[in-house]
Amino acid sequence: MLNQLSVPSSTLYSWDPKSTYIHEPPYFKDMTMSPPGPHPVKDAYCLLNFGDSITTDHISPAGSIHKESPAAKYLMDRGVCPKDFNFYGSRRGNDEVMARGTFANIRLVNKFLNGEVGPKTIHIPSGEKLSVFDAAMRYKSAGHDTVILAGAEYGSGSSRDWAAKAQCYRVSKL
């Protein structure tokens, strides 16, 4: 039985479209040697309003996946039971889970919520309180850009690698 493991002949990884742990990241599709550069921000709404103390620990998905979060909904829609959600870190190879976990920290303080703590924001046109991801997607579907107001410590902290990916992903998705 030794050395009888089936190995594909391709040098490229064969992505499993049903995997909720890892799949082909969209930020490499259609990538060219000449990036398009920045685009002007117009018709933008403020997605989040932070003070100075917003670090990558608030931005980057970490810890367990809360059963009522957008990441949990994504997983349940794909047949994953709550007991099998695992942690964001174990699903960091799935940008769809991680994007839904960006700004999902339960200690997030968004000034739009008048002191309420949690991963929510106010969708300005409707006045509805939504998860950050759901608000961002609603703005995107309406064709609006979004901005985040943040102070001196924005982006500092120990989780910089995913925070940078999440920001690039969010910009490319929004």
Residues 42-173: name the CATH superfamily. Aconitase, domain 4 (3.20.19.10)
What is the band of 76 on the pLDDT scale with cuts at 50, 70, 90?
very high
Give dist(CA 47, CA 174) in Å, integer: 11
Q: What is the tens place of the pLDDT at every residue in 119-172?
A: 999 999 999 999 999 999 999 999 999 999 988 777 676 655 555 555 544 444
Total length of the chain: 174
Listed in sequence order, the residues at least 6 apart from 56 whose beta carbon sits closer than 8 Å to its beta carbon are 155, 156, 157, 158, 159, 160, 162, 163
* Four-residue CA torsion sign, 71, 77, 78, 79: positive
Three-state DSSP state, 63: coil
154 compared with 101, residue with greater pLDDT: 101
Q: What is the tens place of the pLDDT at every residue in 5-27?
A: 787 888 888 888 899 999 888 87
Average of per-residue pLDDT values in the chain: 86
What is the band of 174 on the pLDDT scale with cuts at 50, 70, 90?
very low
pLDDT in the model for residue 7: 79
CA angle 6, 24, 144 (to 5 degrees): 170
Mean pLDDT of 37-57: 87
Q: Where are the domains of the chain?
A: 42-173
